[in-house]
Amino acid sequence: MSRILLAPLEGLADPLMRQVLTAIGGYDWGICEFIRVTESVLPNRTFLRTCPELLNGSRTASGTPMRVQLLGSDPYFMAANARRAVKHAPAGIDINFGCPAPTVFRHRGGSALLGEPQLLHDIVSAVRSQVPADIPFTAKMRLGIADDSLAVDCAQAIEAGGADELIIHGRTKVDGYRPPAKWAQIDRVRAAVGIPIIANGEVWTVADFRRCQQESGCPDIMLGRGALADPLLARKVRGEATGGWPELIPAVAAYWQGVRQRVLPEHAGGRLKQWLMLLRRHYPEAEALYQRLRPVKAAEDIDRLLVDAGIVETLPLAA
């Protein structure tokens, strides 16, 4: 059986969203948003804030394991922070060599390191020295910065550094999130290394999932934005019966109620609209709800609208 994994989506798959998505089900494990490592050893509260699942055996409330992801360019401090993360008994440690965000790139993080295979090796090796063999240790990369000419070199450097598995997003940094993802290029890299490769990028439907498996040669797939656009996708891939939009209504309600508890009222509506913008790709009901919410700014007004729409039964408590 193929493994289906939840990607570390910065700004999208926060702890609340991870809780909602994994409650719907279908995921073997996932990765938290990245923890930015600079020239310091971060306090415990940083790890627990970014990955609160650590307080629950490194699992979401529904039991899905969540791994801690580190992002940085200094082998010594990456290793020192990995040592601190390990004290929290994470379900796994992952290193981010794929983030294409301009701010991260400018500060020599994420995909910015894909032009330096030796540095990738040094970082992975240093972190490996602090991660016990019984804790899964992975890395996530893109195919390169502007092209994929160093993709094999990077993957081989990560393998030589001691990673157990490697997740490859089938685009370069310059590609951003523009389709298509180059799944066949993942296969080229996969053939050049000995560790398992997990494919990622542009999987929105069951058909995409199967085609990605075929073109990448990877049985295991990580879902990113496709998981938010169709929260039932992982279960559909597994051949499970799903209930369409009616099954998602409680998830939307749970997400909004969680947002109202955690987010300032002036920012709450933006969070919900952001998710609906992805959901409407597959669900006309989400498009209709988005259009109703679009001009509404006040969280209290959104509360009332969601009650009227039958999404939530009672008004959420204010943050």
Other residues' Cβ atoms within 10 Å of the Cβ of residue 56: 11
DSSP 172-189: ETTTTTPSPP-HHHHHHH
Asked if residues 183 and 215 have their Cβ atoms less than 8 Å apart, the reply is yes
Residue 46, amino acid: T
Q: Is 229 left (phi over 0), alpha (psi -120 to 50) or beta?
A: alpha
Other residues' Cβ atoms within 10 Å of the Cβ of residue 83: 14
User: Using the 8-state DSSP alphabet, how is residue 54 labeled?
Assistant: G
Written as six digits, the tokens of 155 are 């993957």
The span from the CA of 118 to the CA of 232, in Å, is 40
Active-site entry in 32, 51, 99, 154:
99
- Say whether 99 is catalytic: yes
The span from the CA of 135 to the CA of 152, in Å, is 25
141: nearest Cα among 200, 65, 211: 200
User: Using the 8-state DSSP alphabet, how is residue 65 labeled?
Assistant: B
The span from the CA of 56 to the CA of 65, in Å, is 10
Indicate the SS3 state at residue 309: coil
276 CB contacts (<8 Å, ≥6 apart)?
286, 287, 289, 290, 293
* Side-chain-facing half-sphere of 274: CA atoms under 13 Å: 14
Q: Is 220 left (phi over 0), alpha (psi -120 to 50) or beta?
A: beta
Active site residues: 99
